[in-house]
């Protein structure tokens, strides 16, 4: 009889833990999951992550190109073998002082929380050292917002 009571107690405890886990355990949402004052936090973060992935990909190609040409950066995206226009994104390369600046923007920004983002070659250094990077983006309603991008944390659509 004692063994049945122990099994019943263990089953009850397991059911209680499962229900608490499913309900979130009464914990407050973390700051990363709370929508911020700018609104549309999840949408904005996902769009910034998508543009960030595009920027890191282009930066990787541009820096490989520059490395093979004694530090000479390309004047256009086409020089590195990429199209400046994709079905969803416009990509541009320019200079910001001595740094290479990559801009990725949505071709159709209507209904988007983020319109375009910018990143320099320092972004890849930040990513390799810290595992994430800061990305400056133009958001709906005007203004610039900085997003922390952790590759692999959100699927790009």
For 38-78, what is each residue's pLDDT tens digit?
Answer: 445 899 999 999 999 999 999 999 999 999 998 888 999 99
Contact 101, 120 (CB under 8 A): yes
In the predicted structure, residue 32 carries a pLDDT above the cut 80? no
- Token pair belonging to 76: 């256009």
In the predicted structure, residue 17 carries a pLDDT above the cut 70? no
Using CA atoms, how far apart are residues 149 and 53, in angstroms rounded to an integer?
9
Using CA atoms, how far apart are residues 32 and 154, in angstroms rounded to an integer?
13
Predicted local distance difference test score (pLDDT) of residue 28? 35
How much is the CA Rg of the chain, to the nearest whole Å?
23
Contact 84, 90 (CB under 8 A): yes
CA–CA distances in Å: residue 143 to residues 56, 74, 84: 23, 29, 24
3-state secondary structure of 102: strand
The residue-averaged pLDDT of 2-28 equals: 38
Predicted local distance difference test score (pLDDT) of residue 38? 43
Domain boundaries, the chain: 40-149
Predicted local distance difference test score (pLDDT) of residue 91? 97
How do residues 81-122 score in pLDDT, each as one tens digit?
999 999 999 999 999 998 999 999 999 999 999 999 999 999
């Amino acid at each position: 009889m004692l063994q049945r009571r122990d099994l019943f107690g263990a089953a009850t405890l397991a059911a209680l833990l499962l229900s608490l886990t499913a309900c979130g355990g009464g914990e407050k949402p973390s700051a990363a999951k709370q929508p911020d004052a700018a609104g549309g936090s999840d949408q904005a973060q996902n769009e910034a992550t998508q543009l960030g992935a595009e920027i890191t990909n282009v930066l990787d190609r541009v820096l490989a190109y520059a490395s093979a040409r004694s530090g000479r950066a390309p004047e256009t995206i086409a020089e590195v073998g990429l199209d400046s226009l994709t079905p969803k994104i416009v990509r541009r390369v320019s200079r910001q002082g001595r740094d290479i600046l990559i801009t990725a923007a949505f071709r159709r920004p209507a209904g988007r929380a983020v319109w375009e983002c910018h990143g320099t070659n320092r972004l890849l250094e930040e990513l390799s050292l810290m595992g994430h990077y800061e990305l400056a983006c133009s958001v709906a309603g005007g203004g610039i917002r900085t997003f922390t991008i952790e590759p692999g944390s959100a699927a790009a659509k």
